[in-house]
């Protein structure tokens, strides 16, 4: 019923090898990406360039319309009592 033939053993060995080498390949690619990121950061520090901005801003809720807008540089939402008249 569950007999192991030579063909099944070869197929099993091939699948195990494919998974094994797939993981090794993935680890190698991640190591290369990590090295490239470290090199870019090192060059930026050596050039005196500031680190890249994270692009995160605080948001505040508009009391008139309820939309969340950037805390700095908020513009008028178009409602008559908007607190951010510009």
Q: Point out the least confidently predicted range of 8-17, 57-66, 69-78.
A: 69-78
What pTM value is reported for the model?
0.46
Residue 66's SS3 state is: coil
Instruction: Answer with the residue of higher pLDDT: 61 or 7.
Output: 7
Quick one: 47 and 19 in the same domain?
yes
Q: What is the pLDDT of residue 25?
A: 97
Phi, psi of 83 (to 5 degrees): -75, -15
Residue 1 has pLDDT above 60, yes or no: no
Quick one: 60 and 38 in the same domain?
no
Quick one: 48 and 60 in the same domain?
no
Quick one: 45 and 75 in the same domain?
no
- Rounded to whole angstroms, how far apart are CA atoms 63 and 82? 8
Quick one: 77 and 61 in the same domain?
yes
- Rounded to whole angstroms, how far apart are CA atoms 32 and 26? 10
Quick one: which H or E segment has residue 19? helix 6-47
Instruction: Answer with the residue of higher pLDDT: 42 or 78.
Output: 42
- For the chain, the C-alpha Rg in angstroms (whole number) is 29
Residue 1 lies in a domain: no
Quick one: 29 and 63 in the same domain?
no
Q: What is the pLDDT of residue 83?
A: 77
Q: What is the pLDDT of residue 16?
A: 97
Which structural domain, as residue segments, surrounds residue 18? 6-52
Quick one: 13 and 46 in the same domain?
yes
């Amino acid at each position: 019923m569950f007999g192991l033939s030579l063909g099944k053993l070869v197929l099993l060995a091939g699948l195990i090898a494919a998974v094994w080498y797939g993981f090794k390949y993935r680890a190698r690619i991640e190591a290369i990406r990590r090295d490239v990121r470290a090199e870019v950061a090192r060059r930026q520090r050596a050039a005196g360039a500031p680190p890249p901005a994270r692009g995160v801003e605080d948001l505040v809720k508009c009391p008139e319309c309820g939309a969340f807008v950037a805390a700095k540089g908020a513009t008028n939402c178009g409602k008559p009592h908007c607190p951010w008249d510009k």
